[in-house]
């Protein structure tokens, strides 16, 4: 086991012991293994790094969900990015995670190697600077990310408008987390007994955003931070609820997450974006789970500016990322994991992104 940083070893030992004891009670309550789902790439990574899955024992099955924004980006959207990056006088600005994700005909890294202009940005405002520096080129920002990131992209669009920039546009593949959780529960493919809710999405939307999920589906939701102790504490809270037959929202990341979230960020996001349907890789179309530019911001919509239509694309037949993203399979339960599919030669997005469940598992499993 990897040593857990953060809290004192005694505390962590106590937490693990609590979790194991509660897990037995919870398993008895549900009549089988307790299925908990984390919905955050950073959690996937932290859980694999600290070896938390092994610490919990057999009574708990801790699965990953659709928590990595790059992983749930439909391959058709990736193809649109490839198309844009191949066009002359066009610069595609993107977060780095997207560069190696395969579409149906390669990745942005390959397009870049062939001379396509792909600019990796850390902050969306770098796309603004790129547009100012290259007035004869079109700069397209790829908007990928959940509620954590969408407000920063909203600021980019507002700033571009304020500066009167006409050579910058946005390809929005933004998605929101709660509708995906509802869709997974409604599909009943996997019986889920609790959600470990994403800490930094929750900074924006607040812990209250999960109340209807807890109420409508009788499923406990606990917002978790990112230290091993934070995650174990949240798991403990979930197991306690399951053991007691409760279903409520709790917040184990109160140092950053308020019940109502960050209203400035939410206002920024919805001043620019309207809710629409979105296609999730591995899940399909989920109503009201996407963010598209509002009509008054349509001048910045890359789909309209370049007359684009997202193609329908099939994933690689040997890739089981869809099942991993729905919590139906752990990475190690994929026949391709570590064999046909490795970080150096990934078949699907979960092995590409550093936050993908498969990449996280692969990186730490032998440690």
Contact positions toward another protein, by CB under 8 A? 6-7, 11, 17, 21, 40-42, 68-70, 95, 97, 122-126, 144-146, 148-149, 151-152, 155, 198-201, 203-204, 227, 229-230, 233, 236, 244, 252, 254-257, 262, 264-265, 268, 353, 355
Least distance to another protein from the beta carbon of 253, Å? 9
The residue (of 42 and 107) whose beta carbon lies closer to another protein is 42
The nearest distance, CB 146 to another protein, in angstroms, is 6
Smallest gap, in angstroms, from Cβ of residue 272 to another protein? 12
Identity of the residue, 29 or 87, whose beta carbon is nearer to another protein in the bound complex: 29
Is 183 in contact with 154 (CB distance < 8 Å)?
Answer: no
User: Closest approach of Cβ 173 to another protein, in Å?
Assistant: 12
Tell me the torsion sign for CA atoms 91, 94, 100, 105: negative
Q: Are 63 and 97 in contact (CB under 8 A)?
A: no
Q: How far is the CB of 236 from another protein (least distance, A)?
A: 7
**Any idea which residue has 């809290």 for tokens?**
7
| Cβ at position 103, least distance to another protein in Å | 18
Distance CA 337, CA 319 (A): 9
Widest distance between CA atoms in the chain = 66
Query: With respect to another protein, which residue has the nearer C-beta, 7 or 109?
Result: 7
The full DSSP string for 51-110 is THHHHH-TTEEEEE-S--TTTTB-HHHHHHHHHHHHSTTEEEEEEGGGTT--BTTB-HHH
CB of 303 to another protein, least distance (A): 22
Residue in the block written with tokens 């179309």: 285
The CA distance from 186 to 190, in Å, is: 10
Least separation in angstroms between CB 27 and another protein: 15
Among the listed residues 98, 64, 95, the one whose alpha carbon sits nearest the alpha carbon of residue 82: 98
| Residue closest to 53 by CA, chosen among 36, 66, 68, 69 | 36
What distances in angstroms separate CA 224 from CA 2, 173, 189, 236, one per listed residue? 20, 25, 24, 11
Closest CA to 68 of 366, 350, 361: 350
| Residue 136: strand, helix, or coil | coil
The β-bridge relationship of strands 60-64 and 34-38 is parallel
Distance of CA 107 to the CA centre of its chain: 19
- In the bound state with another protein, the residue whose beta carbon lies nearer, of 7 and 310, is 7
Of the pair 21, 87, the CB lying nearest another protein is at: 21
Q: How far is the CB of 104 from another protein (least distance, A)?
A: 22
């Amino acid at each position: 086991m990897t040593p857990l940083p953060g809290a004192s070893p005694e505390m962590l030992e106590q937490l693990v012991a609590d979790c194991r004891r509660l897990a037995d009670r919870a398993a008895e309550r549900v009549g089988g293994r307790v299925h908990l789902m984390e919905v955050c790439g950073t959690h996937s990574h932290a859980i694999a790094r600290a070896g938390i899955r092994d610490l919990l024992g057999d009574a708990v099955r801790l699965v990953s969900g659709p928590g990595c924004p790059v992983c749930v980006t439909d391959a058709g959207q990736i193809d649109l990015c490839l198309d844009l990056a191949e066009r002359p006088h066009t610069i595609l600005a993107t977060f780095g995670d997207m560069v190696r994700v395969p579409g149906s005909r390669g990745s942005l890294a390959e397009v870049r190697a062939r001379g396509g202009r792909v600019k990796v940005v850390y902050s969306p405002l770098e796309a603004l600077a790129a547009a100012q520096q290259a007035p004869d080129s079109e700069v397209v920002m790829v908007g990928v990310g959940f509620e954590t990131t969408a407000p920063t992209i909203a600021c980019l669009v507002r700033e571009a408008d304020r500066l009167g920039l006409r050579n910058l546009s946005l390809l929005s593949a933004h998605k929101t987390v709660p509708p995906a959780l509802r869709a997974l529960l409604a599909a009943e493919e996997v019986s889920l007994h609790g959600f470990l809710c994403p800490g930094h999405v929750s900074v924006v939307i607040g812990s209250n955003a999960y109340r209807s999920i807890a109420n409508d589906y009788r499923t406990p939701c606990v917002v978790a931070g990112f230290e091993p102790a934070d995650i174990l504490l949240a798991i403990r809270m979930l197991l306690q609820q399951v053991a007691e037959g409760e279903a409520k929202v709790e917040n184990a990341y109160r140092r950053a997450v308020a019940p109502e979230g960050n209203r400035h960020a939410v206002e920024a996001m919805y001043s620019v974006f309207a809710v629409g349907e979105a296609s999730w890789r591995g899940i399909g179309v989920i109503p009201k789970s996407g963010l598209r530019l509002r009509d008054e911001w349509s001048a910045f919509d890359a789909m309209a500016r370049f007359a684009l239509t997202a193609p329908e694309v099939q994933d690689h037949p040997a890739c089981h990322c869809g099942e991993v993203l729905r919590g139906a399979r752990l990475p190690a339960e994929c026949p391709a994991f570590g064999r046909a599919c490795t970080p150096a030669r990934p078949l699907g997005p979960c092995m590409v992104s550093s936050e993908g469940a498969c990449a996280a598992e692969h990186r730490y499993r032998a440690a």
